């Protein structure tokens, strides 16, 4: 009888150990949270989402309202709250403003900026943009009801010039416009001063000048990778962007 009880106890301990190990294994990989920019949406990251999920990463793609910086940060913080364990934030364009703020959450262990804006304390989108050479993006703005859309010609000329016509049309149709008030929102204390960062410079970017991207990458002490691509580098060069995200996710904490 004692032998039977001992065997049952031993099996229970072994099963419990296996279960604990399995649960630990599930939480080993950080959650990758994608944050899109203006004139894009959460589907901009479809290629990376599919590949990361296939490799066992938990993934969340935020749908920013782009009604204010605080609203977008709140949306990203909700995503962080949903995540189990550590988080890597990946931001494109205006999404860089968002992850710079939301990245202060203690669960965030790394920031990946993809042709993104990387503000310092108190900077706005116009004041940060003025630190680099000018681009003619504003020539393609279409204001409607207090929001700013990007024209179809703008998508083809300065936003996604290296994509197919079909891809450009999809971006134009699904774009998330920005409230005009967004352009005056000031950034708070930046997470990049405390968290490791990576930056992807899009060398043919006509929406944010590549030299401004290089300036922001250097200022934030980010590990920098340059890719010959338009502003939507995550679509035109999906695999290269994926590799940087995985590097961030696998870096020593």
Separation of alpha carbons 62 and 58, rounded Å: 13
* The overall pTM is greater than 0.85: yes
Two tokens, residue 131: 């630190």
Two tokens, residue 248: 């961030």
Contact between 171 and 155 under an 8 Å Cβ cutoff? The reply is yes
Q: How many Å is the Cα radius of gyration of the chain?
A: 21
pLDDT per residue as tens digits for the range 205-251: 999 999 999 999 999 999 999 999 999 999 999 999 999 999 999 99
Q: Which is it for the CA torsion 233, 201, 244, 199, positive or negative? A: negative
Two tokens, residue 170: 């999809």
- CATH, domain 31-250, list 3.40.50.1820, 3.40.190.10, 3.40.720.10, 1.10.10.10: 3.40.50.1820
Separation of alpha carbons 228 and 95, rounded Å: 21
Contact between 97 and 187 under an 8 Å Cβ cutoff? The reply is yes
What's the mean pLDDT when you consider all of the chain?
A: 92
Other CB atoms closer than 10 Å to residue 137's CB: what's the count? 19
User: What local confidence, expressed as pLDDT, does residue 27 receive?
Assistant: 53
Average pLDDT, integer, range 93-117: 98
User: What local confidence, expressed as pLDDT, does residue 223 receive?
Assistant: 98
| Residue 5 binned pLDDT confidence (cut-offs 50, 70, 90) | very low
pLDDT per residue as tens digits for the range 112-153: 999 999 999 999 999 999 999 999 999 999 999 999 999 999
User: What local confidence, expressed as pLDDT, does residue 22 receive?
Assistant: 40
Q: Where are the domains of the chain?
A: 31-250
- In percent, the amount of the chain with pLDDT more than 70 equals 89
User: What local confidence, expressed as pLDDT, does residue 28 receive?
Assistant: 87
Of 176, 227, 170, 220, nearest in space to 198 by CA? 220
pLDDT per residue as tens digits for the range 159-200: 999 999 999 999 999 999 999 999 999 999 999 999 999 999
Burial class (CB within 10 angstroms; exposed 0-12, middle 13-18, buried 19+) of 74? middle
- In percent, the amount of the chain with pLDDT more than 90 equals 88
Separation of alpha carbons 140 and 155, rounded Å: 8
């Amino acid at each position: 009888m004692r032998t039977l009880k001992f065997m049952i106890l031993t099996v229970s301990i072994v099963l419990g150990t296996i279960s604990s190990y399995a649960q630990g294994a599930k939480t080993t990989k950080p959650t990758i949270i994608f944050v899109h920019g203006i004139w894009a949406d959460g589907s901009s990251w479809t290629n990376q989402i599919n590949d990361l999920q296939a490799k066992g990463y938990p993934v969340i793609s935020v749908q920013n309202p782009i009604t204010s910086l605080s609203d977008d940060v709140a949306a990203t913080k909700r995503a962080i709250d949903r995540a189990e364990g550590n988080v890597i934030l990946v931001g494109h364009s205006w999404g860089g403003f968002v992850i710079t703020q939301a990245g202060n959450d203690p669960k965030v262990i790394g920031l990946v900026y993809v042709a993104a804006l990387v503000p310092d304390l108190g900077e706005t989108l116009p004041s940060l943009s003025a630190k680099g050479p000018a681009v003619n993006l504003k020539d393609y703005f279409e204001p409607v009801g207090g929001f700013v859309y990007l024209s179809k010609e703008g998508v083809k000329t300065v936003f996604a010039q290296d994509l197919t016509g079909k891809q450009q049309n999809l971006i134009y149709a699904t774009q998330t416009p920005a409230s005009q008030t967004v352009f005056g929102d000031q950034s708070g204390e930046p997470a990049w001063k405390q968290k490791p960062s990576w930056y992807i410079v899009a060398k043919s970017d006509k929406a944010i000048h590549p030299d401004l991207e290089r300036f922001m990458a250097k200022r934030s002490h980010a590990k920098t990778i340059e890719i010959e691509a338009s502003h939507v580098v995550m679509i035109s060069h999906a695999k290269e962007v994926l590799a940087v995200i995985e590097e961030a996710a696998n870096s020593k904490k």
